[in-house]
Amino acid sequence: MKKIVKDRGFTLIELLVVITIIGILSTVIIASLSAARRKAKVAKTQVMLNQMKIYVAGAQINQNLLLRDITGSNNTYDSCPTGVDLSQLPSTHPCVADWRHAIDDIIEAYDSSISDKSAYYTDAWGSPFLLDENEWETPGVCQVNTLTSAGEDRMAFTADDITIVLPYERC
């Protein structure tokens, strides 16, 4: 006599084990993707900062002016609050408006044929950049100009800021 074996499905325990394993793997993958996304935003912001450094140097050479004379300010970031998420500031806030005006002036002085300057209005996290035009702020004293991204926390002057030094025109 032959024994008839019924096709059996998976037991509840087997299904729970598989679902648990899938959950653990997806958690690991999501964590890895989050880290990769953060690194990509840092890289994008660094590329933007370096491109703006080229614009600043070119604008200063083309106009034979100090950066503060191109932007009309000694510290474009003066109106930016600390301890506040800069990406949440409205476009009418002086911090945002001053930066947009400054980058528009810099790019215009670099190459007036560039029509869309809005690509440089915010960093990868949506915050305006922080520009400090220091050169000859105090006559006879050479201080570096800096350009800063508020970084991942979107707050000015914290540990995760990304800052570059801009080239001098006269020092």
pLDDT category of residue 45 using cuts at 50, 70 and 90: very high
Using an 8 Å Cβ cutoff, are 87 and 114 in contact?
A: no
Question: Under DSSP, is residue 110 helix (H, G, I), strand (E, B) or coil?
Answer: helix
| pLDDT-above-70 percentage for the chain | 96
Alpha-carbon distances, residue 81 vs 17, 86, 96, 102, 128 (angstroms): 51, 8, 11, 18, 12
- Span of 52-61, 69-78, 120-129 with lowest mean pLDDT: 69-78
Average pLDDT over every residue of 46-62: 95
Over residues 128-170, the pLDDT tens digits come to 999 999 887 777 778 889 999 999 999 999 999 999 999 887 7
Going 65 to 69 to 74 to 79, the CA torsion angle's sign is negative
Average pLDDT over every residue of 72-83: 89
Burial degree of 90 (CB within 10 A; 0-12, 13-18, 19+): exposed
Using an 8 Å Cβ cutoff, are 132 and 80 in contact?
A: no
Average pLDDT over every residue of 46-75: 93
Using an 8 Å Cβ cutoff, are 123 and 42 in contact?
A: no
Chain length of the chain: 171
Please give the angle made by the CA atoms of 76, 116 and 167, to the nearest 5 degrees. Answer: 45
Question: Under DSSP, is residue 148 helix (H, G, I), strand (E, B) or coil?
Answer: strand
Which pLDDT score, from 0 to 100, does residue 143 have?
A: 85
Burial degree of 69 (CB within 10 A; 0-12, 13-18, 19+): middle
